Structures are given as C-alpha cells and as structure tokens.
Amino acid sequence: MAAVTHKCPAPMGDCCPAVSGKMKRARNDHNLGSIYNYKSLETLGEGTYGTVVKAQDQRTGETVAVKWIRPDDEGVTDLGAVFHEAACLEACRGDPSIVQLKEVAADEVGHIFIVTEFVGPSLESHLWRRFSGAEIRAAMHQLLRGAETIHGAGMIHRDIKPNNVLVGPGGALKICDLGMAVQTRPAGGEPYPEETVAALWYRAPELMRGSRSRRTYGTAVDMWALGCVMIDLLFGEPLFKDAETEDDVLHRARDLQYQMESMTDLLLPELSEAGHEVLRGLLSLVPEKRLTAADALSHRWFEEEDAPLSPCSMFSEGSA
C-alpha cells in the first residue's frame, strides 16, 4: 500500500535516538494512527511549515486531507505544535463551518500528519468575480458562525484569510489551519510571544504599529480579518492588494474608514443598508468598537429574506 509521500530531511530516527524515543512515547500517549492507512492522490499545497495532500483512507475509501508537519533543519518535528493544532480542531468538533479533524497519524520514522476531512479548494481561488449581496451574506453567515465557535472555545484563530477558508460542495465554507490559534488572554495580561501574526493584508490595525510592543489583543483581530474577507468578496479581489508594508495597509485602512463613515465612494450596490452596517462594524479601526461574531450574527442583515442563508451554489464552477 502506498502511503502519503513527501520530500523531507533525514528521518527523525536517523538524526536523534532520543527524539525517536520521544516519538514512541507520543504514539502511546496520544493514540496516534498510522499514515500507512492512507494513499496519496495529489498535492494540494506546500508551504514553509508543511505539505497538504489529498488522500484516500484505504480502510473506508473516504477522501481526506493530510497535512504533513515539516521537521526542522535537524529533522525534529515540533510535537507540541502538532498536538496544539489538533487540540484546537478537536475543540471545534461538530461545527459545520470549521474543518473536522479525523486523527493525528505518524509513520515509522516519526513524521507527524494531521488528517482532516477533505473539503475542496480555497476561497482564494474563487476571488475572480464580485458576488451578490445575498451570496456574500450566505458566506459571511457561515464564517461568522465558525468564528463564534472558535472564540467560544476560548481561542483566537489569528490567521483568517481566503486561503484558510475551504469551499465545499454547494458553497459550504469551512475555516481551516488553526496552527496559529492561541488561547485568549485577559486584557492587560501576559503578552503573546510572537511579534508578527496574520497575513499582512488581513492583519488588524492593533497588530501593527503602535500596539505590537504590548502584543496584547483579542478576538477582534479575527473580526477585522473577516471584514477584509467580506470586502474581498464584494470587490472580487483582496482589499489591500499590492500593499507591501504595514504603513501601506494602515494608510488604506484609514482611507477606508473615512469612506465608510462618510458613505462616499463605498456605497456598494451589492449591499443593503444593513449589510453596510455589518461591514463597518467589522472594519472599525478601534477593536473595542468592532462587532463580535455573536453580535454580527444577531444583526438584522441576517434576517433579510431575499435569499436563503444555507450554503448555496455561489462557488459552483461556471457561476457568474
């Protein structure tokens, strides 16, 4: 049987016997599955920290997604990071707007894999047209529902962007990649250690100049990112496209704030007045004034009856 394959540094067992022993203990402690139960079908994406492939569970025939966590330069896998992401996914189990964890698996030499349900391509691959207000409302309802679950579990995603939203059959959207997620910390508490989080175009103002030295922030950073995703759908491309620095993003964000407050040049016909209220609430420069996921979901925008809120065919091939 062909297991999931990948290019990688020297196996952990060949580099460090102590790490190999740690892997064996981890397998026992965490009841790891075997990666040899899965057959690789195609590579879905490669990044700095790992590779994601489409695979088939040879026991059931089910199609899944397998994320291989790349070891460091010495061939050592960060087991803490792997199990952290798996635990974050487990905390969101059952939410239809978040990708579902199947298991954590390993091979004989200690490489670790996170196995999840297979959903489909990323939302980023669909940003080639402008969507209608009803379509955007259906999409945002799903994403806000996922954010509410993440925040309700006491976490901040910290990396919401179109590439971390998967599009399934019938327009079902699922937030994925919780590798950057952290436990919410109280205001004024211990700062987060990371100096830079979130992709630049989706990075909240409080994560940029003026606030980074404190590195204290809350779930509002995810709400800003969702506001950026919402306007991406409206424009058919990223809001801060071509911005190369934080100063670029902040300058455009301030311009956007002025436009939304004055309603000049941004009265988008795709959105109702209620839709504009949600957009302004998500993209407030002041995090304390930003809508929470729960507040947004209870907004009157989601009570409008011009189209259903259930997953729709807005992302089906050939939509226009």
The DSSP secondary-structure symbol of 188 reads T
Give, in order, the Cα–Cα distances in Å from 142 to each of 13, 119, 146, 217, 313: 43, 14, 6, 24, 14
Check which CATH number belongs to the domain holding 131 and give it.
1.10.510.10
Q: What is the pLDDT of residue 129?
A: 84
248 a catalytic residue: no
Q: Is the Cβ–Cβ distance between 124 and 163 less than 8 Å?
A: yes
Q: What is the pLDDT of residues 243-272, one digit of tens each?
A: 999 999 999 999 888 877 776 545 577 888
Query: For residue 211, what pLDDT is reported?
Result: 53
Is 5 contained in some domain? Answer: no
- Cβ atoms of residues 85 and 65 within 8 Å: no
Contact, 161 vs 241, CB < 8 A?
no
Residues in CB range of 260: below 8 A, 6 or more apart = 266, 276, 279, 280, 283
Q: Which residues contact 15 (CB under 8 A, 6 or more apart)?
A: 9, 74, 75, 76
Tokens of 123: 């939302």
In this structure, how many other beta carbons lie within 10 angstroms of the beta carbon of residue 1?
7
Sign of the torsion formed by the C-alpha atoms of 113, 115, 116 and 120: positive
The answer to whether residue 313 is domain-embedded is: no
Q: Can you give the residue range of the structural domain that contains 96?
A: 33-117
Shared domain check, 286 and 157: yes
Binding-site annotation, residues for ATP: 67
Identify the segments of the chain with pLDDT beneath 50: 1-29, 213, 265, 317-320
Query: Based on the domain organization, do 75 and 193 belong to the same domain?
Result: no
Q: Are residues 174 and 262 in the same domain?
A: yes
How many domains does the chain contain in total? 2
In a domain, 243, yes or no: yes
What DSSP element (H or E) covers 199?
none
pTM of the predicted model, to two decimals? 0.85
Q: How far apart are alpha carbons 271 and 140 in whole angstroms?
A: 13
In this structure, what token pair is assigned to residue 178?
């919780």
**How confident is the model at residue 195, as a pLDDT?**
77
Task: Output the domain CATH number for residue 58.
Answer: 3.30.200.20
Residue from 57, 95, 107, 159 carrying the catalytic annotation: 159
Terminus-to-terminus CA distance in the chain, angstroms? 42
Binding site membership: which residues?
Answer: 67
Is the residue at 272 inside a domain? yes
- Are 171 and 220 in the same domain? yes
CA distances from residue 68 to 33, 40, 193, 261 in whole angstroms, order as listed: 14, 12, 25, 45
